[in-house]
Amino acid sequence: MRGKLVAGNWKMNGNLASSQALLKAILPPLAALSGARCAVCAPFPYLAAVGQALRGSKVEFGAQDLCQFDDGAYTGGVSGAMLADIGCHFVIVGHSERRSVFGDSDEAVALKYEQALKHGLEPILCVGEQLAEREAGVTETVVARQLDAVIGRCGVQALGRGVIAYEPVWAIGTGKTATPQQAQDAHAFVRGRIATADRRLAEGLTILYGGSVKAGNAAQLFAMPDVDGGLIGGASLVADEFVAICRAAQGAQQTVRT
């Protein structure tokens, strides 16, 4: 049975003091949760401090990106080996902001996924369409292309060692959210496409929804049969919101079990 996962993506926000204050606020209530995994993905400069603060807790941590190359002459890059060295568990690859703002191609994302696995990290692979692509009716074409780049590079079995996050780009930071049914349809497509190669792997794959998830809509989204949790942006910076979303994931997990 698939478990629920909620991963907070802090993006380029905060400072050392605010990140420590946020963790201090979320750790006590999250300690009481069971049945759902929770994680935070922090900016590079704060990863070591976040890892130290989370030591011994149920909350895992990860990075927001990594270099597609191993250690070497890549100024400004952060390798998978470095992330593993400081205890990171997760790393986000292919986030829409990395694709659109920083120019990460499908090929680069596939290389980053490969590097994450090489160094024992659990990649969170982001896929999703722009508003114009949804309006043009090519959502599935876009998502399939992004998935196929990783499958072509790493093999379909490699997806079983990571997490997929479907993020409709038009719903990120806009306040707009895909309806639960829209999210379910996209997640079902992702799972179905992978099932054509390996049904058992597809059934066990964790697929998150990312796009303006809040405490007020999390329970409805997580109740969908193919939505296994969320990749949370802005709401992960607000302690009460993030805790409530994690509780919604726990509730959804308990419902599945019963």
Q: 29: which strand partners?
A: none
Residues assigned a catalytic role = 95, 167
Locate 248 and state its tokens.
Answer: 């919604």
pLDDT in tens, 207-239: 999 988 999 999 999 999 999 999 999 999 999
The CATH T-level fold of domain 4-257 is TIM Barrel (3.20.20)
3-state secondary structure of 202: helix
Q: In this structure, what DSSP letter does residue 177 have?
A: -
Distance in angstroms (rounded) separating the CA atoms of residues 130 and 135? 9
pLDDT in tens, 80-113: 999 999 999 999 999 999 999 999 999 999 999 9
pLDDT in tens, 181-199: 999 999 999 999 999 999 9
Q: Which amino acid is at 42?
A: A
Distance in angstroms (rounded) separating the CA atoms of residues 7 and 229? 8
Distance in angstroms (rounded) separating the CA atoms of residues 249 and 253? 6
- Rounded to a whole number of angstroms, the distance between the first and last alpha carbons of the chain is 12
Locate 69 and state its tokens.
Answer: 């190359």
pTM over cut 0.75: yes
Q: In this structure, what DSSP letter does residue 258 have?
A: -
pLDDT band at 258 (very low <50, low <70, confident <90, very high): low
Positive or negative torsion for Cα 63, 165, 253, 197: negative
Per-residue pLDDT at 34: 87
Query: Where in the chain are the domains?
Result: 4-257
